[in-house]
Amino acid sequence: MSELKNDRFLRALLKEPVDVTPVWMMRQAGRYLPEYKATRAKAGSFMNLCMNPELACEVTIQPLERYPLDAAILFSDILTIPDAMGLQLRFAEGEGPIFDKPVRTAADVDALPVPDPEDSLKYVMDAVRTIRRELDGRVPLIGFSGSPWTLATYMVEGGTSKDFAKVKGMMFDRPDLMHKLLDTTAQSVISYLNAQVAAGAQALMIFDTWGGSLTPRDYKEFSLRYMQQIVAGLTREADGRKVPVILFTKGGGQWLEDMAATGCDGLGLDWTTDIGEARKRVGDKVALQGNMDPSVLYASPERIQKEVAAIMESYGKGSGHVFNLGHGIHQHVNPEHAGAFIEAVHKLSAPYHR
């Protein structure tokens, strides 16, 4: 494997000195890019794109060809694990993800396997290997997974939900069943992420998109506890380098101290938390990733620069900040505005590292 030419993303997550603040964007390979739409059309569907390692590699690298990003993220989806468990994932046009075989009963939960990542998820590992080869050390590659709770919401609801009626119904009425589902899923996530590291992922991120829908008590019992189990089970070093782990609970700003105590290296922040306040709360324990409101990218490049400057000033001097959006980039954003955002981070951050 070739030497990493740009390691500021990994260094910032470990709070080691950097020249400028590293930056990447959640969903950086996506529908706001015309070249993404062209490759997706060639693939025929989103899942075909995920399952074809050459095309998944192509779209992973597209944003890096346009912008001086400091990390690449595997192009895939968090719902690959439940699909490999037999739930039969499909994306209906305009409707989002659907599982034809959702998990509703004790028998459904008992039947869930822990998938072998080099078997039913081999297409993901092949994508990781292909991307690492094609990146040729340009920037580190981030592997990822959903959190057990977030995956459970899709598995039980059978798709996207507004009120989480079914999954919360199971959680409140059959906590034993919910814990069994979450435990099987956590075991699956551990083996999936460790396989991504073995295949070449250099950092890991866990997306807990729906942890913020829980009460503080339920968050700790049904979401955080399983992310903690995952962090404890992960391979933390590969090729003589640390493999940093980032936890991101959307809407989880009030639980940062508990999240930092899991032993992860970084916390993702959405835009509802002030990053300077967050830094005071977690101290030296973890790095922080975030947290510009993705809607700022609809504003002018001048306004985007001002927002970048304000977040940087709030974080303050020194390493430990990975600049990002507070959630995925929206599909109707002008790609030039994303470029202005990335350029502003590099240009405005140098004084904070002197």
Choosing from 6, 16, 35, 46, the residue that interacts with ligand CP3 (CB under 6 A) is: 46
Question: Catalytic one among 70, 77, 218, 265?
Answer: 77
How far apart CA 298 and CA 254 sit, in angstroms, is 28
Token pair in block for residue 289: 């990733």
Q: Which stretch binds ligand CP3 (CB under 6 A): 28-36, 213-221, 300-308, 314-322?
A: 28-36
148 interacts with ligand CP3 by CB under 6 A: no
Alpha helices in the chain (DSSP H): 8-13, 34-43, 46-51, 53-66, 80-82, 106-110, 122-135, 148-157, 165-173, 175-199, 216-218, 225-233, 256-260, 275-282, 301-315, 335-349
Closest by CA to 341, choosing from 70, 62, 4, 91, is: 70
How is residue 79 annotated by DSSP?
Answer: T
9 interacts with ligand CP3 by CB under 6 A: no
- Rg from Cα positions in the chain: 19
28 interacts with ligand CP3 by CB under 6 A: yes
327 interacts with ligand CP3 by CB under 6 A: yes
CB of 51 to ligand CP3, least distance (A): 13
CB of 276 to ligand CP3, least distance (A): 23
- The yes-or-no answer on residue 218 being catalytic is no
27 interacts with ligand CP3 by CB under 6 A: yes
141 touches 135 (CB < 8 A): yes
How far apart CA 341 and CA 291 sit, in angstroms, is 12
Q: Which is nearer to ligand CP3, 112 or 206 (CB)?
A: 206
Choosing from 263, 276, 328, 335, the residue that interacts with ligand CP3 (CB under 6 A) is: 328
Q: Which is nearer to ligand CP3, 54 or 313 (CB)?
A: 54
Alpha carbon distance, N-terminus to C-terminus of the chain:
32
292 interacts with ligand CP3 by CB under 6 A: no
Q: Which is nearer to ligand CP3, 73 or 338 (CB)?
A: 73
- Helix 175-199 to helix 122-135 angle (10° resolution) is 40
- The yes-or-no answer on residue 40 being catalytic is yes
Q: Is 16 exposed, middle or buried (0-12, 13-18, 19+ CB in 10 A)?
A: middle
Token pair in block for residue 125: 């590992």
Q: How many residues bind ligand CP3 (CB under 6 A)?
A: 22
153 interacts with ligand CP3 by CB under 6 A: no
Annotated binding residues, written as ranges, equal 27-31, 77, 154, 209, 327
Q: Is 349 helix (H, G, I), strand (E, B) or coil?
A: helix
Q: Which is nearer to ligand CP3, 24 or 315 (CB)?
A: 24
Residue numbers 49-108 binding ligand CP3 by CB under 6 A:
73, 75, 77-79, 96-97
Closest by CA to 339, choosing from 47, 65, 37, is: 65
Q: Which is nearer to ligand CP3, 199 or 348 (CB)?
A: 199
Token pair in block for residue 37: 């739409």
Q: Which is nearer to ligand CP3, 164 or 352 (CB)?
A: 164
- The yes-or-no answer on residue 236 being catalytic is no
21 interacts with ligand CP3 by CB under 6 A: no
Question: Catalytic one among 8, 11, 40, 132?
Answer: 40
Token pair in block for residue 228: 């903690």
Annotated binding residues for substrate, written as ranges, equal 27-31, 77, 154, 209, 327
Q: Active-site residue numbers?
A: 27, 31, 40, 77, 154
Q: Which residues bind ligand CP3 (CB under 6 A)?
A: 26-31, 40, 46, 73, 75, 77-79, 96-97, 144, 160, 207, 209, 250, 327-328
